[in-house]
Amino acid sequence: MPFHGSNQYINNNYKKIQKNNSLQTLRSISSPNDRKHYNHERVSSFTFVKASLTVETALVLPIFMFAICFMMYFTEVVRIQAEIVNELYKQGKHLALYSYVYNQIECNSIIDSGKIENLVTGSLSNLYVKDQVKKELGEDYFANNNIDNGMSLILSSYIKENDMIDIIAIYKIRIPCNFFHLKNIAVIQRARIRGWIGFEGTNDSNTEEEIVYITEKGSVYHKDKSCTHINLSISYVSMDKIKNIRNKEGGKYYKCEICGDESSYRAVYITNTGNRYHSKKDCGGITRDVIAVPISQVGKRKACSRCGN
C-alpha cells in the first residue's frame, strides 16, 4: 500500500506539471508582444496592397488622359481637312468658269487673252487659289490651326491633261505635344475638276457622236441644254410671300437643306420647277455645272425624263 500511494503521488505531480506547462505555453502564445507582431503583419500587408494600387494608377492614368487628348485633337485635324478641301473645290469651280472664258476668247481671237491665260493655265493660278482660300477661311486661319508655313500648291496643274484643273494642296499640321517624336502631321489633299471648255466634234461622219449634257453629281444626261432640269429659271421673292407661292406643278416651297439655316434673310431664291427656297444664289441646290460630253461617256447615267426621249 505505501508503494501504491507513492505512485499515485508521483502521477498527480506529473499531471500538475503538464497542466502548468500547457498554461505557460498558452500564455506565451497569447502574450501582448505576439499579438502586436501579428497585427503589424496585417497592417503591413494592407499597406502594401494600397501602395501597389497607387503606383498602378500613377502609371496608367497619364497614358489614358494622353490618349483621350490625342483623340480629341484628331477630330480637329479632320475638321481642318474638311474645311480646306471644300475651299479647294470651290476655287477649282471658279477656275473652270474662267477656262470657259479663255477658251471662247482663244477660239474667236476677239481680244488679247494673255491675262486670262496666265490666270487659268499659268503660275497665277496658285496665287489666286491661295489668296481666295485665305479670304474665305480668314487671314489667320493657318496660324490659328497650327499649320506651319502655310499651304503649298506646287504640284497643281491647270488645263493640261484632259482639260482638267488639278489642285493639290500640301501642308503640315503641328501637334501641340510630342507624341512618340511625331511633331506634325503631313497632309496632301486634291481637288480635280474639268474645265468648262465643252467638247469639239469632228467633221468625220464615221466618228461623229451625239453630244449630251451632264452635271458633276447628276444621275441623268440631257439631250437639250435648255432643259429645265439644268437651265433653271431663278426668281428672287420676298420671304413673307413664300407661303403663298406655288411652283409649276402647284407644289409648295420648303426650306433648303443646304442653305436654309440662315436666319437673317428677308428674300429668297426659287425656281419654277423646284420645291425649295434658297438664301444664297450660289447654293448647290440651284446651281448646275453643265458639261458637254459624247453620249458614250455618260457612264451609268440614265436619260432625262423631260428631254431624253
Cα-Cα-Cα-Cα torsion 111, 116, 120, 121, nearest 10 degrees, comes to: 70
How confident is residue 188, by pLDDT bands cut at 50, 70 and 90? Answer: very high
Spans of all domains in the chain: 61-194, 211-303
Cβ atoms of residues 187 and 170 within 8 Å: yes
How confident is residue 229, by pLDDT bands cut at 50, 70 and 90? Answer: confident
Handedness of CA 42, 44, 50, 55 (dihedral sign): negative
With 60 as the cut, is the pLDDT of residue 38 above it?
no
How confident is residue 1, by pLDDT bands cut at 50, 70 and 90? Answer: very low
With 50 as the cut, is the pLDDT of residue 43 above it?
no
Residue 214: its pLDDT value, please?
Answer: 87
Question: pLDDT tens digit string along 278-296?
Answer: 888 778 777 777 888 888 8
With 80 as the cut, is the pLDDT of residue 36 above it?
no
With 70 as the cut, is the pLDDT of residue 145 above it?
yes
Residue 121: its pLDDT value, please?
Answer: 54
Percent of the chain whose predicted confidence (pLDDT) is above 70: 68
What is the mean pLDDT of the segment spanning 261-278? 77
Percent of the chain whose predicted confidence (pLDDT) is above 90: 6
Handedness of CA 125, 127, 131, 134 (dihedral sign): positive
Lowest mean pLDDT among 77-86, 94-103, 171-180, 299-308: 94-103
